Amino acid sequence: MTEPTAPTEPTAPTAPTASPRPLAPTDAPQPPAAQGDPARAALLAVRHEVAKAVVGQDAAVSGILICLLSRGHILLEGVPGVAKTLLVRAVAAALAVDTKRVQFTPDLMPGDITGSLIYDTSTSDFSFREGPVFTNLLLADEINRTPPKTQASLLEAMEERQVSIEGHPRPLPVPFLVAATQNPVEYEGTYPLPEAQLDRFLLKVILPVPPREQEIEVVQRHARGFDPRDLGAAGIRAVAGPADLEAGTAAVRGVTVSPEIAAYIVDIARATRQSPSLALGVSPRGATALLATSRAWAWMNGRGFVTPDDVKALAHATLAHRLTLRPEAELEGIGVASVLASAIASVPVPR
């Protein structure tokens, strides 16, 4: 495949867009082999259970499942009140996995997350007290409201799936997922996440304010007595578990990626590095992340191979948060979403 040329970008201000809507499996008939896959059926049933508590937001639910299947982590961004926390709690309940929540605040310390050594006066020795990171699904609520030092305490856990205390590594449970929520960076009291930590998140999904019809449904549910603090009363039941996730992860690794698709992913990454509007393009880690999410998405849609449409469907959610605009591009009102869309459009689609 030939090297892509630098993409042509819009000069008019363009509003950033949310993650692409195709983050929910299609309703098209699935191949017989996919219909008989119990792990896939169980994981897709999670979306139905979450819908008992959360109206809409299918893209975010699918994103969490993709991250679990790809052994990655997810960043959920949205204004206060769009059910980010409720969504993660509902997914954990439907998956029957252990979950813990950390409310990130300006005074939170790294040891409050990872754990620390505590002196035991009865034994005159130090013992390790586990922090909330020792769980299957860690809800890092409002992660950008704590200083960078505390944010960085999650880096080792997210990358190595272990925590080192006084030089001694302690492995985390399997599965392990960080589902972090954040408010838009322009909100007061937020600390922007550094590039190194943003790059650790496999996906970033934006939770929009629901349309009018869905918002009416939310209000009607509350009028009927829905309590977001009582998921059991909402009827959410465990329909999948760690064994289904393990089987699904193994199946995703078997999804075929042709040389043409691999080259297509690389050329998209390289096109972002050539963009004159970007100070930082997609790294090779970002390209491998797009490969992983495309594989998981293909499997969730009942296919054993990745198509260009799979790559395009996951490209924005996988790559946009890894890009950094140049200051002059920001002044011109150019958004990351439009730059990435131009980069993707500049790369020939394999046939």
218 and 263 in a common domain: no
CA distances from 154 to 75, 159, 161, 179 (A): 13, 9, 10, 12
Q: What is the pLDDT of residue 91?
A: 93
Structural domain contains residue 177: yes
198 and 283 in a common domain: no
113 and 232 in a common domain: yes
The CATH number of the domain holding residue 78 is 3.40.50.300
The predicted model scores a pTM of 0.84
258 and 236 in a common domain: no
From first to last of its 351 residues, the chain has per-residue pLDDT tens of 444 444 444 443 333 333 333 454 333 333 344 456 899 999 999 998 998 888 888 889 999 999 999 999 999 988 888 888 889 999 999 998 999 999 988 888 888 898 887 877 777 778 788 889 999 999 998 888 888 888 888 888 898 999 888 778 899 999 999 999 988 765 666 777 888 888 889 999 998 888 899 999 999 999 998 888 888 888 889 999 999 999 999 999 999 999 999 999 999 999 999 999 988 889 999 999 999 999 999 999 999 999 999 999 999 999 999 998 888 888 888 889 999 999 999 999 998
Structural domain contains residue 266: yes
166 and 65 in a common domain: yes
Q: What is the pLDDT of residue 298?
A: 95
Q: What is the pLDDT of residue 23?
A: 53
The structural domain count of the chain equals 2
Structural domain contains residue 312: yes
Q: What is the pLDDT of residue 213?
A: 92
187 and 94 in a common domain: yes
Structural domain contains residue 89: yes
Radius of gyration (Cα) for the chain, nearest Å? Answer: 21
CA distances from 117 to 123, 128, 261 (A): 14, 4, 48
235 and 126 in a common domain: yes
Structural domain contains residue 30: no
Q: What is the pLDDT of residue 122?
A: 76
Q: What is the pLDDT of residue 133?
A: 93
The CATH number of the domain holding residue 8 is 1.10.8.80
189 and 93 in a common domain: yes
Let me know: does 144 contact 192? Beta carbons within 8 Å. Answer: yes
Nearest one of 75, 200, 198 to 142, comparing CA atoms: 75
Structural domain contains residue 27: no
Q: What is the pLDDT of residue 128?
A: 81
117 and 51 in a common domain: yes
197 and 95 in a common domain: yes
Q: What is the pLDDT of residue 121?
A: 75
Q: Report how far residue 12's alpha carbon sits from residue 329's, in angstroms, rounded to the nearest whole number.
A: 11
273 and 345 in a common domain: yes
Structural domain contains residue 31: no
Q: Of 240, 266, 284, which marks where a domain is finished?
A: 240
Q: Report how far residue 98's alpha carbon sits from residue 123's, in angstroms, rounded to the nearest whole number.
A: 31
CA distances from 80 to 84, 86, 132, 184 (A): 8, 12, 23, 9
161 and 195 in a common domain: yes
Q: What is the pLDDT of residue 36?
A: 65
Q: Which domain holds residue 232?
A: 38-240
CA distances from 25 to 21, 114, 116, 257 (A): 10, 35, 42, 19
Structural domain contains residue 3: yes
Q: Of 206, 240, 274, which marks where a domain is finished?
A: 240
* Residue labelled with tokens 């996988």: 318
Q: What is the DSSP letter of 130?
A: E
Let me know: does 252 contact 306? Beta carbons within 8 Å. Answer: no
Q: Which residues of 7-22 are buried (b: 16+ CB within 10 A; e: fewer)?
A: bebeeeebeebbbbeb
Q: Of 240, 265, 296, which marks where a domain is finished?
A: 240
